[in-house]
């Protein structure tokens, strides 16, 4: 272990230097892209179609060289700044006390006899009670002594418990990773869905936005986002199914039950170079990515690439992790049950608000800042409908998203030993089909035919809305929630377009924003109390006068939970809209985030990336 | 627990009211769609291309309003009817006896020490023998007494067994859900496969059929199908890997070993609001969906949407669940080993007949009722070949289906603690490649070139055929079965088109019908006796003179199993074809299930859904 | 068990007869395809577009009949030869000694108390020490005696351990199969990626190559490849997470720590008809397939189908399995730590070299033999850029590959009870995003715009490079490795095209060849010693002066590991390039592997498979 600890320190020091350099170059890509946006508008460049996996034009080197020189200066400055930031965060991650829990990067010290529990969650090992003033101290002390006495007689059983605890954690890690992979795969779903819904001239642009969202938001989350969100998770929300991640135990802002921002795990070094923590990292980073993909649907067909990357870095580093900490990182909202006596605290099982409403309302703010696409609203407010270009992509993308949601919701138990996973999976599907059926029927009644893209949006709306309540409600309630969401998304699309005059090409604001808000509120209405006993530390022994009562909604008798959900969901909407609007309103003042009008007319593919979505077809067209 | 039970009753009552309303509105979509079919044929509507995620035309409101008024009347009538039906089923689901097993929606009472078993299936806990007249009563009683005595000395070991049993069930639930997700994803495969095989003008139609199949068949299965199929599974086929689902214990029609239709779990309330049961629900609903997708390939390019929805509701509520109960729900066919001494009873491991032949022969009946597409068979029976429109979709769809089959077959153990999963997975792949190679070679010998779409169909044929025998045969036999299927599918496609003159655009009848039948028969030929000992309660101790002998086919010495498989597989084909033909022959008499000829000429996309598959391309074409 | 053993022998005998026949017909497809290639060039055939899933033209039967007669002769000869080969291999697989371990096809004897281990890998059962001369014999004997004495007092704990061991193996089997499925799904990713990157006229050709690669390489691996690679894995590299597969225990060439080719498990009969072994089969066959897909990207748009099938059979039967045995089958390279004192022996966690470099350098050899596509290099070496035809496919394919890599790398632990899986998953993603970001930035600096296809290639490059080191390095190092790979792939693409003048349409050589080599070398540089203690039997107790020190790279103090990696990676490159070049240089001498120039001009779809990728579009075009 000496060797490992030594390496661990070396590693840590190395890490900050390297990490800083990498992030620096990453961020400079954004700064550097500013002139690129300008250059892309240069008609000399735009008029050339450039293809293939290989090199590009040789000319206009002089201009570029000058641009590059200026870029190098920015690079140097940004690098220096980033190294400073990295070193600063390094200080935050350093644990200077000898009794700090040690990270376990090899995973060979995670999952022992203390992880062996039965179906109801009762541990095998009886822990020694520490609070001698507790009313049940004598009773607990006796249980502990009895266990100790018996354990001396059954050393093999105790030894075997180490294996059992290990297998239990393994089962849960496998579950969490496998479901996390499904969520990761949702990127293909979002890309195909949004690509299919836009015009052909922006097909490559859509694919690249979804692709780059993954890349750059991931880097931001790796650098600081994970630490902001989960850096203190062990304090109030230790994922015991994964071994508890005891090394993530410090709030950067706040403390105790009033935590606001986590403070350990920057650059995934030190306390976050741990097997249990990395399961959480993998699972949570793909959730953050989902928020990052959501905005694409509302801002596509007009945002410039550099501005988009800035949005993704903002979401991955700041917007998502901070509010994510409040509900999932053991932050203040999750603790409202203890601190303010508001039900089980704010509860969002898999992220109707934490993920979807944050993405959806950030998308709304960006869509407003960017303004509508050219020609969307004609004179007199006449609405022009732009054609989708590939319905096959749209439906396939929706299927992939449904598949991914089988990871999103059931995976959010962080373990297969929580058998509620099956109810979650069934509820999720039921809301999806109900939402879809509702949207088909509504469109049929309103406009005479079931609309395919609205059927897809209805399914996604149902999925978004069931994401928060999926573990707390019955199948019947899931059908109702899905139906409500299917109605809301139809209304929302029409409302945004006809009343608010917000141009949201793929309906992201309605699907993820409005229905996300609805989902979290539905927890406060439909939760039936069969699940969530002890959630956020509330009601393990007794709640609403019943032993083992879980999270309970309005129609099952808990008014406080409803108010908590209503206010919490609204706060998420306001936070996402407000923070995004303020930041990017300023950015947009400094430099317009939109591509030049001529790029928008031409389609963003070639001006931004030198390549249309269907290069050969474009070439053929160009020849005529 | 008091609280939970109270909630449970409230929930149940609520559920039937809500459930009825939801299903009512769902079904009315179908009734209501009838005039929609008429309206779609109205040339005023058809001549407009309508795009995007948004609103549609405003005109002809008068006509619509009248239509809607009539619709509202239907809606009211149907709602009333459905509430009655729901209340009726509620009665069936109510368990009025005090000693009924309680459902466990939170999953905190599922998986205890009785679930701890070793590799060979021997339980940890020794159960008390109850039948005092049994010849081995004395021996079993002694074993029980010894266990009791030792258990008193090893309380920690016994306590630990609760954790072990819990982890075992968790492992199995995770396996079953993960593989179920793969089966769910097959919808994308079916959609791309069939969409790619048809003409471009029906691309959106194909995507929407596959999409709507999922939505409406799911609702039907949720309402009644699951209860019909698995409502009595605990009687003869308890899935012990998942904890046994003891609450599903009542046949609606039949009893004991002669059960015909299950009778608990309607609307997933009451006895079906249970963690173990919901694992089964999730896994089985996606199997039902597969049958629902299969028919699409044979009836596309001419069926109207309302008729299609009716087909899906029929499959999800009636056709699939009832015959599914016979083999998988503990019904009469699975018990033929005990009741009629026919081998291990009818055995279909993952659904060559239960799923695929049912889908395939239902598709055959529908294709006959609908008749061939316009122009398919010219004067003098001359066959016209319609072009596929996208081979990339076809092959990608096939890849997705292969991927999904890794859930379909290995998942059908309902648990990873059955180590035969690996043999199943390898066999499934081997049959796929053998079927594909055979189809390529046959086409090469017959027509000079390997055909891509037939290579895909050959792979699917191999997969369908290995689905029943995958767990009972060796890899060598799998290669042979796959090869046979690859030959059969080629012959079947030619036979259907040239001899029977059935127009089956995607070859669904050959792939799923004929090869499904073949697969179940192959169990009776190739099963090698290494697996399935005790299957359906037959031969746990001794079979064919050997201890531990499993399901055995003709070439390994069991003639009875062969006859059972031959007759059973044929029965499935007859049932699916016959029931579907009778029902939809009558439906078609009342109102033609085909779209009007002018819609078929134009392509069904716009007349049925107001949107072509490639809207922007269609718009461009329209402009010229 | 008597019955099973009898069946087992019958099965074995049957198997070789059937197996031989099947493989014979398979291989004849290749030989038979030779005249097919010729016939395809016949302009009479080429000028007809043939569509659909059905029959083809009737004419020119006379020519075909003659061709078929000659084919039948070849078929007969080849069948005879193959039966002989099969019988020969049968002899190798027969285990004539009574004390040979028995295969366990039902899986009911796999996973007992000896499989129960704790987090650090310590077994529950204490084994009896056998070497009485060992210095710690007395100590071990006492531990064994103590265990025996205590076990007599705790029979229930010992009995329970059987359940625990069983669940542990079940968890690992489920993990390995689930991740294997993800790797299987990579075929869709490779197909879409490469199809999108080529010209439309070769779209069907690309899909069919990827499809046929799966089919024929699988058959070759089934017949002999698996036996060559893993037929002796139990000797030095027993996968204890899966139960150890004790029946695979014989080298065909070599022995002890100097094994070169495995020798058991031909046709998956006998010792390979085993539940544990089949988990390995499923997981490893899809890795082999990956190498088979890789070559497609470099040889497409000009290789004839028969030659391609020969390549796939060569890869599946010979090239991949033999060198795969060296590092993963317990072969000589993995043992260099013990035999030559070279670190922990050659280490490639998930196949940067074993899979990717082998595929990439084989692709390089084939691309050289085939020569560049017509018109690629103009007069004076001017490079012509061929347009990709669908960027949506390219990006979607990349997303699918990333998803599949979540199986590729984390699954390579062969078990979820190795908690390093989470670090592997996070590292894999980090390298992917770093590689992608680096490639975007490089292209931006070089050519003014981030290129979408290079961003995809950068991501794949990062994934390939992290594949070997993913388990041994920290997240920080992963970012660095990904960045290096992103740079290397850009340089490699330009170097191949501009300097070596190798025409590699999809960049397969750079992505998989160069970056694969880089990955294995990076193990020797960045491995931090936190993982891999005892890997390949090295350093369990002490290494580099530290207890528990794992695989360690240059910057953490182990020079020998670095040299071992450098030489080993280079050997893989040389082997793959050399063996492929020699074999196919000769093949190409006998008969040109390229299609005729007119087929290449037209696109290979119709001449080779009678069907374009977009048949309806082609038909429309043909009408004008």
pLDDT digits (tens, 9 = 90+) for B1-52: 334 434 444 444 444 444 444 444 444 443 333 333 333 333 333 333 333 3
CB-nearest partner of A14 from C399, C402, C476: C476
pLDDT range class, residue C542, cuts 50, 70, 90: confident
Neighbours of C93 (CB within 10 A): 23
Cβ–Cβ gap A7/C389 under 8 Å: no
Q: In whole angstroms, give the CA distance from residue A306 to residue A309.
A: 5
Q: Using the structure block, give the residue that is written with the tokens 């269907």.
A: A614
Residue among B386, B422, B434 minimizing CB distance to C22: B434
- Model confidence at C60: pLDDT above 50: no
Gap from B471 CA to chain C (nearest CA, Å):
9
Cβ within 8 Å, pair C273-B474: yes
The pLDDT confidence band at residue B537, using thresholds 50, 70 and 90, is confident
Q: Give start and end residues of each alpha helix (H) in C375-531.
A: 391-408, 421-447, 452-467, 475-495, 508, 515-526
Token couple for A89 = 């965060």
Which residues of chain C does A212 touch, with a Cβ-Cβ cutoff of 8 Å? 440, 450, 455
CA distance C297 to chain A (A): 12
> Which of A88, A96, A89 is CA-nearest to residue A263?
A89
Considering just the CA atoms, what is the radius of gyration of chain C in Å? 26
Structure-block tokens of residue B15: 């559920």
Residue B53 reports pLDDT greater than 60? no
**Distance in angstroms (rounded) separating the CA atoms of residues A495 and A506:** 14
Q: Which residue has the tokens 């598709």?
A: B363
Mean pLDDT in residue range B481-509: 96
- Fill in the DSSP letter of residue C255: E
CB-nearest partner of A275 from C172, C395, C419: C419
Q: Which pLDDT score is estimated for A548?
A: 85
Residue B611, CA atoms < 13 Å, CB-side half-sphere: 34
Bridge partners of B303? B594
CB-CB neighbors (< 8 A) of B125 in chain C: none
CB atoms C50 and B423 under 8 Å: no
pLDDT above 90: percentage of residues in chain C: 75
Chain B: closest CA distance from residue A80 (Å):
47
Cα A329 to Cα A335: distance, rounded to the nearest angstrom: 11
The DSSP line for B58-113 is ---HHHHHHHHHHHHHHHHHHHHHHHHHHHHHHHHH----TTSPPP-TT-SSSS-G
Residue, of C203 and A37, whose pLDDT is higher: C203
pLDDT at residue C75, as a whole number: 57
At B281-292, the pLDDT tens digits run 999 999 999 999
| Contact (CB<8Å) C267/B476 | yes
| Nearest chain C residue (CA) to B119 | C108
Would you call A207 and C391 a contact, using CB atoms and an 8 Å cutoff?
yes
Tens of pLDDT, residue by residue over A571-618, are 999 999 999 999 999 999 999 999 999 999 999 999 999 999 999 888
- C212 CA: distance to closest CA in chain B (Å): 8
User: Do A497 and A381 contact (CB within 8 A), yes or no?
Assistant: no
Whether residues A422 and B108 touch (CB distance < 8 A) is answered with: no
Secondary structure element (H or E) that encloses residue B454, with its range: helix B452-467
Contact A161 B160 (CB under 8 A): yes
Q: Could A406 and B45 be called an inter-chain contact, meaning their C-beta atoms sit closer than 8 Å?
A: no
Q: State the nearest Cα–Cα gap between B98 and chain C, in angstroms.
A: 34
- Per-residue model confidence (pLDDT) at position A97: 53
Our CA-based measurement puts residue A27 at a distance from the nearest CA of chain C, in whole angstroms, of 10
Q: How far is C488 from chain B (nearest CA, A)?
A: 31
Q: Radius of gyration (Cα) for chain A, nearest Å?
A: 26
Backbone angles phi, psi at C104, to 5 degrees: -130, 75
pLDDT value of residue A543: 87
Question: Which chain B residue shows the shortest CA-CA distance from A201?
Answer: B616
Q: Which residues of C are less than 8 Å from B120 in CB distance?
A: 108-109
Sequence-distant (≥ 6) Cβ neighbours of residue C566 within 8 angstroms: C521, C524
Task: For an interface test with B, give the residue of C36, C48, C53, C182 to mutate (most B CBs within 10 A).
Answer: C53
Element (H, E) at B254: strand B251-255
Q: Which two tokens stand for residue B141?
A: 């009683």
Question: pLDDT: is A617 or B569 the higher one?
Answer: B569
Chain C nearest C-alpha distance from B354 (Å): 24
For chain A, which chains pass the contact test of at least 3 CB pairs under 8 Å?
Answer: B, C
Helix (DSSP H) and strand (DSSP E) numbers for chain A: 24, 2
Q: Which residues of A are less than 8 Å from C512 in CB distance?
A: none
Instruction: Quick: pLDDT tens for B213-246.
Output: 999 999 999 999 999 999 999 999 999 999 999 9
- The full 3-state SS of B115-159, as one line of letters, equals HCECCCCCECCCCCCCCCCCCCHHHHHHHHHHHHHHHHHCHHHHH
Write the residue in B14, B214, B275 that is nearest to A422 by C-beta.
B275
Class of residue B567 by CB neighbours under 10 A (exposed 0-12, middle 13-18, buried 19+): middle
Strand partners, C552: C528
Residue A532, Ramachandran bin (φ over 0: left; ψ between -120 and 50: alpha; else beta): left
State the pLDDT at residue B2: 37
Mean confidence (pLDDT) of chain A: 87
A11 with C528: Cβ contact below 8 A: yes
**H or E stretch at C253:** strand C251-255
Interface test with B, best of A389, A415, A448 (most B CBs within 10 A): A448
For helices B391-408 and B421-447, the axis angle rounded to 10 degrees is 150
The encoded tokens of residue A63 equal 């201009």
Which residues in C lie closer than 8 A to residue A614 (C-beta atoms)? Answer: 389-392
Q: Which residues of C touch B175 (CB under 8 A)?
A: 174
Q: Which helix (H) or strand (E) holds A582?
A: helix A559-590
φ and ψ at A99, to 5 degrees? -95, 15
Q: Once rounded to an integer, what is the mean pLDDT over residues C262-279? A: 96
B-chain residue closest to C162, CA distance: B118
pLDDT at A624: 58
Residue with the larger pLDDT of the pair A58 and B488: B488
Q: Chain B: residue nearest A436 by CA?
A: B215
Q: Identify the segments of chain A with pLDDT beneath 50.
A: 1-63, 95-96
User: Per residue in A502-532, pLDDT tens?
Assistant: 999 999 999 999 999 999 999 999 999 999 9
Pick from B32, B53, B118, B281 the residue to mutate for testing the A interface (most A CBs within 10 Å).
B53
Q: What is the pLDDT of residue B94?
A: 52
Q: Which of A506-510, C43-47, C122-126, C159-163 has the lowest mean pLDDT?
A: C43-47
C-alpha span between B478 and A289 (Å, rounded): 42
Decide if the complex's ipTM is over 0.85: yes
User: Do B474 and C11 make contact, defined as CB atoms within 8 angstroms?
Assistant: yes
How far away is chain C from the Cα of A90, in angstroms, using its nearest Cα? Answer: 13
Cβ-defined contact of A282 to C164 (cutoff 8 Å): no
Whose tokens are 């003869």? That residue is B236
| Torsion, Cα of C201, C203, C206, C212 (10° steps) | -110
Q: pTM value? A: 0.90
* Closest residue of chain A to C178, computed from CA coordinates: A178
pLDDT value of position B619:
79
Residues of chain A contacting B214 with CB distance shorter than 8 Å: 433
Residue B321's pLDDT is 98
DSSP code per residue over A210-270: HHHHHHHHHHHIIIIIHHHHHTTHHHH---GGGT--TT---EEEEETTEEEEE-S-GGG-G
Q: Which residues of chain C are within 8 Å of residue B445 when distances are taken between CB atoms?
A: 68, 71
Q: Which residues of A touch B56 (CB under 8 A)?
A: 443, 446-449, 451
CA of C318 vs chain B CAs: smallest distance (Å): 19
Pairing of strands B258-262, C258-262: unpaired
- Give the percent of chain B with pLDDT over 90: 75
Please give the pLDDT value at position B617. 86
Residues of A in contact with B273 (CB under 8 A): 423, 474-475
pLDDT in tens, C318-338: 999 999 999 999 999 999 999
Q: How far is C165 from chain B (nearest CA, A)?
A: 8
Cross-chain residue pair A396–B210, CB shorter than 8 Å: no
Cβ contacts of C49 on chain B, cutoff 8 Å: 387
Closest CA to C249 of A370, A27, A286, C239: C239
Give residue C349's Cα distance to chain centre.
13
Q: Which residue has the higher pLDDT, A95 or B421?
A: B421
C36 closest CB neighbour out of B449, B483, B529: B449
What is the rounded CA–CA span in Å between residue A32 and residue A70? 9
Contact criterion met (CB < 8 Å) for B14 and A476: yes
Model confidence at B506: pLDDT above 90: yes
Q: B432-436, C103-107, C215-219: which has the minimum mean pLDDT?
A: C103-107
CB within 8 A of A271, min separation 6: which ones? A93, A95, A100, A103, A247, A248, A249, A264, A265, A277
pLDDT for C429 beyond 90: yes
């Amino acid at each position: 272990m000496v060797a490992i600890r030594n390496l661990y320190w070396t590693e840590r020091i190395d890490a900050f230097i390297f990490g800083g350099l990498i992030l620096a170059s990453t961020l400079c890509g954004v700064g550097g892209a500013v002139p690129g946006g300008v250059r892309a508008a240069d008609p000399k460049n735009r008029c050339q179609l450039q293809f293939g996996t290989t090199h590009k034009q040789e000319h206009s080197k002089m201009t570029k060289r000058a641009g590059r020189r200026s870029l190098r200066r920015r690079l140097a400055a940004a690098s220096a700044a980033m190294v400073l930031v990295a070193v600063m965060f390094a200080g935050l991650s350093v644990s200077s006390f000898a009794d700090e829990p040690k990270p376990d990067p090899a995973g060979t010290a995670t999952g022992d006899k203390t992880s062996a529990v039965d179906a109801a969650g009762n541990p095998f090992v009886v822990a020694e009670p520490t609070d001698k003033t507790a009313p049940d101290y004598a009773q607990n002390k006796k249980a502990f002594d009895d266990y100790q006495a018996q354990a001396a007689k059954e050393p093999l059983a105790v030894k075997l418990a180490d294996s059992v605890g290990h297998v239990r954690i393994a089962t849960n890690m496998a579950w969490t990773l496998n479901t996390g992979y499904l969520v990761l795969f949702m990127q293909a779903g979002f890309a195909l869905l949004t690509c299919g819904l836009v015009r052909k001239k922006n097909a490559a642009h859509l694919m690249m936005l979804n692709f780059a969202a993954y890349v750059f938001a991931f880097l931001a989350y790796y650098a600081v986002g994970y630490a902001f969100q989960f850096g203190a998770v062990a304090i109030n929300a230790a994922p015991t199914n994964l071994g508890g991640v005891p090394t993530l135990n410090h709030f950067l802002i706040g403390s105790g039950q009033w935590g606001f921002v986590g403070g350990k795990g920057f650059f995934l070094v030190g306390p976050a170079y741990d097997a249990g923590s990395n399961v959480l990292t993998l699972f949570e980073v793909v959730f953050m990515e989902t928020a990052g993909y959501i905005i694409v649907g509302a801002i596509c067909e007009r945002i410039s690439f550099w501005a988009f990357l800035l949005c993704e870095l903002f979401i991955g580093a700041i917007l998502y992790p901070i509010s994510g900490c409040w509900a999932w990182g053991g932050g203040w909202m999750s603790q409202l049950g203890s601190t303010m006596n508001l039900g089980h605290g704010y509860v969002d099982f898999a992220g109707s608000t934490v993920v979807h409403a944050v993405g959806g309302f950030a998308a709304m703010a960006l869509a407003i800042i960017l303004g509508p696409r050219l020609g969307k609203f004609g004179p007199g407010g006449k609405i022009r409908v732009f054609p989708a270009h590939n319905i096959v992509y749209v439906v396939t993308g929706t299927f992939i998203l449904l598949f991914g949601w089988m990871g999103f919701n059931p995976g959010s138990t962080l373990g297969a030993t929580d058998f509620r996973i099956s109810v979650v999976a069934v509820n999720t599907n039921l809301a999806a089909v109900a939402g879809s059926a509702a949207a088909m029927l509504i469109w049929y009644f309103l406009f005479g035919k079931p609309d395919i893209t609205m059927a897809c949006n209805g399914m996604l709306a149902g999925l978004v809305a069931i994401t928060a309540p999926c573990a707390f409600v019955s199948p019947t309630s899931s059908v109702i929630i899905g139906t409500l969401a299917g109605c809301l998304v139809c209304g929302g699309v029409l409302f945004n377009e006809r009343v608010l005059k917000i141009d949201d090409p793929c309906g992201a604001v309605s699907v993820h924003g409005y229905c996300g808000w609805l989902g979290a509120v539905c927890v406060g209405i439909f939760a039936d109390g069969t699940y969530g006993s002890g959630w956020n530390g509330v009601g393990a022994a007794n709640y609403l006068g019943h032993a083992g009562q879980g999270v309970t909604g309005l129609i099952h008798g808990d008014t406080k939970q409803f108010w908590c959900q209503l206010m919490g969901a609204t706060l998420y909407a306001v936070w996402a809209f407000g923070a995004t609007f303020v930041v990017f309103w300023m950015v947009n003042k400094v430099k317009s985030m939109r591509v030049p009008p001529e790029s928008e007319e031409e389609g963003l593919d070639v001006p931004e990336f030198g390549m249309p979505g269907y290069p050969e077809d474009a070439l053929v067209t160009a020849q005529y």
